[in-house]
Amino acid sequence: MKKTIYYFGLGKMGKAMVQNLHEKGWSIVGYDVSEDTRNEVRGLGIMVVDSVEELFEKREGEMTIWFQIPYTFLSDMLDKIEPYLQADDTIVDAGNSPFRLAIERSERFSKSHVDFMDVGISGGVEGARNGACLMIGGTETTFKSLERLFRDISRPEGYQYLGRAGSGHYVKMVHNGIEYSMMQGIAEGFDLMNQSEFDLDLQDIVRIYQQESIVTSRLIGWLGEGFDTYGVALDEVQGSVGALGEGLWTIETAHAYGIKMPALEAAYATRIASQAKPTYRGKLLQTMRQMFGGHVGVNKIQS
């Protein structure tokens, strides 16, 4: 395949990913709504344009158009680019979008012979920069045509084609639901140890937990990085923890299937409660989010 990608969204994740691709020989044409962000990425030697129209003026044959933007902005952007699309172009939605929207969009664009792929990405900013985990939905033919791109973005063996449109976002949605529950368990445990009758050093506990114990994980590692950065008291971290939507989508989907999700529901409820009553447990959760995803402060909860 031709190694050119047209890239929308150059924030934390997007910037890291285009750097990754640029180093692997890809030609990037990038765009972001923020002028400061455009100038920052342009300073890295990556081609960045100042408008949607200018991006499409750079067209050279069939286009692979990658979106790394919040799903709340994607609908408007898709409407904006639709007049510029041509048959055999491909749209890749790599944000955390509801999976049913991916199904609808695939059907919508297929009428114009434009392929739509939904890609869930895990690994945070570090993964985007050095190799992420990709969960891919869409047509198998298009997956195969873009496999080199997916391989270059991911860590070794870090991408998987999952099936028809919507499957990538579905699996990523459940991934994030699991993530909520895992983070909740870690936060509860460290909250309990912080309040114990023993003079426990939580940094020592992170270190020993990370020595191939059953709970060794990247999440505990990131919590340890947070302790190193902010101190065990986490005074600089807000005790209100955000939720971007995927946890709630997982709960709602499970309810539609008649499946109970008690662990995830409790984790989600904790995040909601922290909005009104910040806690040390909330600081622990927010610290993990900050270290892997750059989630600063409190994110508005989206339904």
Kindly provide the b/e burial profile for residues 279-294, where b requires at least 16 CB atoms within 10 angstroms of the residue's own CB.
Answer: bbbbbbbbbbbbbbbe
Cβ contacts of 38-46, under 8 Å, gap ≥ 24: 38/10, 40/10, 40/15, 41/10, 41/15, 44/15, 44/19, 46/18, 46/19, 46/22
219-233 per-position pLDDT tens digit: 999 999 999 999 999
Q: Which domains does the chain have, with CATH numbers?
A: 4-164 (3.40.50.720), 171-293 (1.10.1040.10)
Place of tokens 């499409």: 56
DSSP state of 299: P
Close Cβ partners of 106 (under 8 Å, ≥ 6 residues apart)? 116, 118, 138, 164, 165, 166
pLDDT for 301: 34
Catalytic residue among 54, 111, 172, 300: 172
93-121 per-position pLDDT tens digit: 999 899 999 999 999 999 999 999 999 99
DSSP string, 69-109: S-HHHHHHHHHHHGGG--TT-EEEE-S---HHHHHHHHHHH
- pTM above threshold 0.75: yes
279-294 per-position pLDDT tens digit: 999 999 999 998 887 7
Q: What integer is the mean pLDDT of 39-47?
A: 95
pLDDT for 245: 81
Backbone torsions φ then ψ of 2, nearest 5 degrees: -70, 135
Catalytic residue among 54, 157, 179, 225: 179
144-195 per-position pLDDT tens digit: 999 999 999 999 999 999 999 999 999 999 999 999 999 999 999 999 999 9
Q: What integer is the mean pLDDT of 84-96?
A: 96
pLDDT of residue 299 exceeding 70, the answer is no
Categorize the per-residue pLDDT at 244 as very low, low, confident or very high, splitting at 50, 70 and 90. Answer: confident
Q: How far apart are CA 69 and CA 10, in angstroms?
A: 8
Say what percent of the chain tops pLDDT 70: 96
pLDDT of residue 277 exceeding 70, the answer is yes
Instruction: Specify the range with the lowest mean pLDDT, choosing from 17-26, 148-157, 204-213, 287-296.
Output: 287-296
pLDDT for 295: 62
Categorize the per-residue pLDDT at 242 as very low, low, confident or very high, splitting at 50, 70 and 90. Answer: confident
Mean of all residue pLDDT scores within the chain: 93
Strand order from edge to edge, sheet including 4-8: 47-48, 27-31, 4-8, 64-67, 90-93, 115-122, 132-137, 154-163
Cβ contacts of 82-86, under 8 Å, gap ≥ 24: 82/112, 84/52, 84/53, 84/56, 85/109, 85/112, 85/114, 86/62, 86/114
Cβ contacts of 78-83, under 8 Å, gap ≥ 24: 78/105, 80/52, 81/52, 81/56, 82/112
Q: How far apart are CA 64 and CA 58, in angstroms?
A: 12
Does residue 23 carry a catalytic annotation? Answer: no
Does residue 172 carry a catalytic annotation? Answer: yes
